[in-house]
Structure 1
Amino acid sequence: MAIAAERAGLDSLWTWDHLLADEGPWEQPILEGWSVLAAWAAVTERATLGLLVAANTFRNPGLTAKLATTLDHLSGGRAVLGIGGGWFDREHEAFGIDFGSGFGERLDRLDEAVMLIRRLLDGERVTHEGRFYTMRDALVEPRPLQARLPILIGGRGRKKTLRIAAKYADHWNIWNEFGSAELAIDLAGVLDAHCGDVGRDPAAIERSFSQEGIIRDDPAEARRVFATAYRGHGLDPDAGVFALCGPPDLVADGLRPLIEAGFRHFIWVLRTPYDTETLQRLGEVRAILEG
């Protein structure tokens, strides 16, 4: 599928970071995310590769920095380090992973972790005694191939998540499952305000939107295909998800408000069984938007 996506013209390829499925039967097969990216690195040539997003709770920040650096070398400089606070309690409980005392604490941990990851990726020898992490003359060698390996922060938390993104992120992502395009545009404004508070140029942070939908010339057929796939994962297609289903011009029109608000990167979410027609026709949407 990664090969087909790259051949279809997609510029980035993403997978999740879960130990158990967070939708549908939790017993279904799940592969470890960093290993999947390493496999993709071997069979692709151009697209950037990343997790959307790594759970910070799963790994020490030093290990995360090493994993991202290794992927950067395996891929010839195409790695993106996507990371978030971690949210799925079931997988933490199943594998005995510390879930912290609450979401606020996990975001505080993420804040400290991303600070350390950035320093390590940038070549610092890090000694640190913090609330959550301790390092003694830690170093990441070899350095990433990219002069600045990009860090993506995923999430919508107005007070903490977007503040962390403003401080450290090269890329911020929000999923369509969190609401409409209007919500994403509103949150982009919150991110801009945080950038002002921390003295960072908002334009330095790429904004991406993870979009779901099915491309068909017949909108009714597109909605049927989407609903079938969604229900197949134990999800309700009528639960308010912002999906774009229809011909390429309809999909393009749905993305235009986001483009006007500064979003330049769209990550199309395809659930198994993968809809190859949508994959092949995303290029038509791109041509409309770039025309």
Structure 2
Amino acid sequence: MTTAARKNPSEVGRLLRSWREQRRVSQLELALRADSSARHISFVETGRSRPSEELILRLAEHLDVPVRDRNALLLAAGYAPRFSETPLDDPSMGALREGLERLLRGYEPYPAFIVDATYNVVAANNGMALLMDSLPEHLLAAQPLNAMRLTLHPEGLAPRIRNLREWRGHLLAQMERQIALSRSDALRELYEEVAAYPVRAQDAGREPQEPVPYFALPMVIEHEGHVLSFVASISTFNTPMDVTVAELAIETLLPADPATVKYLRSAAG
């Protein structure tokens, strides 16, 4: 008996229905998007019909299901996973690593770093190292380094962020959106940890001295007697075919004012 034959069609149906309801998409709307019928979607969700591998992937694409969870849907239906999960240090990822390193160097002297699905730092450039060089050794020694912990920990960057209340709220809201999209238990645990970090009263109520640009919320941070202002940009890979690659994000801190540009260029020599 094959693996597919042993699987209960209702298992993948329950998962698909859960994703559809979370995305607030009706069966009819999903059917129209995925070139199917509402009747067939209903049969799949109730276990009366076993979906093909192609239909599962098509539905997952239109429901914006994370790549890791698309493998779970395929397994639930009795199919083999479609997407590999290759460690970034695997020899086959050499070209990707080289490309990422070139990209990080290209952003210098501006800070840039790469994180995985739970904000563990995979790589960072010299601009990011500049911002972190005054952090306590015990934070930098923790492995893996985690961008959210380094930013929001009371001994991390948090005390130096002038608009901590706004920036902290922005980061926590960002994590909440990602948890809703990915349903990741690990990300939820990280969120609960960093959200519970104590915030000093003077930091919680401190406002930035400069007006917030209309186009983006800046992070205004003190560094060695200078006040630096950054806006964040996040990039991901389009149509990844590997779980590891799908979960990588390239984050850059772009200067929001001429003074920050001048300081970073001077510090880089």
Common topology (TM > 0.5) = no
Query: Larger relative CO (CA 8 A, sep 6+): 1 or 2?
Result: 2
Normalising by structure 2, what TM-score?
Answer: 0.25
Q: Which has the higher helix share?
A: 2
More strand by share: 1
